[in-house]
């Protein structure tokens, strides 16, 4: 393939796609995930210090977010390391969700 063919193929593949918008969307998602993690951390610490309780629900959301991001990227990029990392985070997510539900049930007096 010569340069012109490669350029034509790339232009055809990227038709109607604004690469700047794609990059901005990616950075926005990364920033949202980071800020959400920081908010959960602050709320978790505040609740622990003020109420002397631990809110596992907050961490369930964050670890699920991290799991989904890693699995999705791993599948799309065919990166086995990211898929394995995502599966590990998914396991942590399931444990965290189970802990959150058990804590809620104990708080409600069901258990």
98, 69 contact by CB (below 8 A): no
pLDDT given for residue 78 in this prediction: 94
Quote the pTM value. 0.72
| pLDDT tens for the chain, residues 1 to 111 | 677 877 677 667 767 677 788 889 889 988 998 999 899 999 999 999 999 988 889 889 999 999 999 999 999 999 999 999 999 999 999 999 999 999 889 988 888
Secondary structure (DSSP) of 24-64 = HHHHHHHHHHHHHHHHHHHHHHHHHHHHS---HHHHHHHHH
- Give exposure, 32-67, as e/b (b: 16+ Cβ within 10 Å): eeeeebeebeeebeeeeeeeeeebbbbbbbbbbbbb
Per-residue confidence (pLDDT) for residue 22, from 0 to 100:
80
């Amino acid at each position: 393939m010569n340069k012109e063919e490669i350029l034509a193929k790339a232009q055809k593949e990227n038709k109607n796609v604004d690469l700047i918008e794609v990059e901005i969307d990616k950075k926005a998602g990364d920033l949202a995930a980071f800020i959400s993690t920081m908010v959960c951390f602050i709320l978790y610490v505040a609740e622990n210090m003020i109420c002397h309780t631990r809110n596992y629900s907050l961490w369930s959301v964050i670890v699920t977010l991290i799991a989904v991001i890693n699995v999705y990227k791993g599948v799309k990029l065919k990166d086995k390391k990211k898929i394995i990392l995502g599966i590990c985070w998914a396991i942590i997510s399931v444990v965290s969700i189970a802990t959150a539900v058990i804590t809620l049930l104990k708080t409600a007096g069901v258990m």
